[in-house]
Amino acid sequence: MDPFQFKNKEISKQECLELFENDAIFFDTLKAADSVRGDLCGNVVTYILNANINFTNVCTGSCQFCAFKVSKNSPSAFFLTPDQIGRKACDAKMAGAMEVCVQGGLLPEIDTHFQIEILKSIRAQTNPLGGISIHAFSPMEIYTAAENAGLDIKTALSMLKEAGLDSIPGTAAEILVDDVRKTLCPDKISADDWEKVVKTAHRTGIPTTCTIMYGHIEENKDRVEHLFRLKRIQEETGGFTEFIPLTFLHENTPLIKKGLVESGASGLLDLKMYAIPRLLFKEKLPNIQVSWVKLGTKFSQVGLCAGANDFGGTLMEENISKAAGSKYGSSMTQQKIENCIRQIGRVPKLRNTQYKIIEETAPKTPIQTF
């Protein structure tokens, strides 16, 4: 099979499976994907100045890949109030961030009304400084909070939008195959419910990102199912702004402790996860992000030559990958991101959450952890 044929041809599920399975065409697949990336994005690599805010690590969930969640009585448990979250967003804004990515655990007391308190506090505290884009609450968090409040998804999303929610992180997707979810994340919403939340968000005017968390118990056929579902959703709504493959970090997770896996993905699979979606999505979903916090800067540079075109964000703070064993730090300066992109002969461009390029006028100041 010649992967270059998919530069201007749709891929069938069977062909997609072969792209995953046939390592004899591995380098051709990367090359074909890089060529599609070049046609769509030129030599530009985008990035964003953003900050993660994880408002609690207490969670009633039981995801077997998660090393972040703790129980209520754990000595490392924390729970920020809406006021504290707003203050953190202010610190992020003052450190130069344009976006906050707000995610936390699942708890009965976190309902849509509490999420609205968070949004209002961020708005009230950052508006005097010029405001910040709020990228918050995974589809799982939206679903659970709506259920806790006794609201349907559409009403909950409309209320969140009204209170200032700009976009939604497309996490909690993991692998969108219920058979895998049954073992991987038994308490998580079904693949259809994840789809329902993101499609309702898109139809309410709230864009989302989309992700895959791979390299654990899933098989190639599950990866194919997942990617085709994302493609179909995008064809129906056009609401995904970007795709972020998240490589499973295995070290401190229940999956490893229970002996259900021995490691995470191979380096080959990591690169296929940029290349194959690039060939599959083409212009329908033109932004594919490397996750430097999960893969490190060197591997991220390679990912940018295998189909990806976005470096992600400064993050400023990161707890989820760190808990799982990431050794790549929690924050990256704007300078360092730009150097990393220039080092591979590409042109760094600052973007906002919706991928509008921001032309900078002010001199760059280094972003610090806040």
Ligand X SMILES: N[C@@H](Cc1ccc(O)cc1)C(=O)O
Positions at the binding site for [4Fe-4S] cluster: 59, 63, 66
Q: If DSSP codes are grouped into helix, strand and coil, which group holds residue 370?
A: coil
In terms of CB distance, is 16 or 213 closer to ligand X?
Answer: 213
Closest listed residue to residue 172, CA positions, set 140, 137, 195: 140
CA distance 313 to 292: 9
Report the residue count for the chain. 370
The interface partner of residue 99, options being ligand LW54GNZ2, ligand X, ligand SF4, none and the CB cut-off 5 to 8 Å by kind, is ligand LW54GNZ2
In terms of CB distance, is 264 or 313 closer to ligand LW54GNZ2?
Answer: 313
**Per CB under 6 A, 29 contacts ligand LW54GNZ2:** no
In the 8-state DSSP scheme, what is residue 284?
G
Contact 279, 32 (CB under 8 A): yes
| Closest residue to ligand X, based on beta-carbon distance | 169
Tell me which stretch binds ligand SF4 (CB under 6 A): 12-20, 61-69, 195-203, 304-312: 61-69
Pseudo-torsion of CA 139, 140, 144, 147, nearest 10°? 50
CA distance 339 to 346: 10
Q: Fill in the per-residue mask, 316 to 345: x = in contact with ligand SF4 (CB under 6 A), - = not in contact.
A: ------------------------------
**Per CB under 6 A, 101 contacts ligand LW54GNZ2:** yes
CA atoms within 13 A on the CB side of 238: 2
In terms of CB distance, is 122 or 140 closer to ligand SF4?
Answer: 140
Q: If DSSP codes are grouped into helix, strand and coil, which group holds residue 87?
A: helix
Residues paired with 332 in a beta bridge: none
Contact 53, 102 (CB under 8 A): yes
Pick one of 30, 34, 55, 69: the residue that binds ligand SF4 (CB under 6 A): 69
CA distance 333 to 6: 37
Tell me which stretch binds ligand SAM (CB under 6 A): 30-38, 61-69, 116-124, 229-237: 61-69
**Per CB under 6 A, 300 contacts ligand LW54GNZ2:** no
Q: Fill in the per-residue mask, 134 to 153: x = in contact with ligand LW54GNZ2 (CB under 6 A), - = not in contact.
A: -x------------------
Q: Which residues contact 27 (CB under 8 A, 6 or more apart)?
A: none
CB of 192 to ligand SF4, least distance (A): 18
Report, in this order, helix, strand and coil percent for the chain, each rounded to 5. Answer: 45, 15, 40
**Per CB under 6 A, 250 contacts ligand LW54GNZ2:** no
Which residues are part of a known binding site for (3R)-3-methyl-D-ornithine?
138, 291
Pick one of 106, 177, 180, 324: the residue that binds ligand SF4 (CB under 6 A): 106
Binding to ligand SAM in span 86-125, by CB under 6 A: 103, 105-106
Contact 54, 320 (CB under 8 A): yes
**Per CB under 6 A, 248 contacts ligand SAM:** yes
Binding site for ligand SF4 (CB under 6 A): 59, 61, 63, 66, 68-69, 105-106, 140
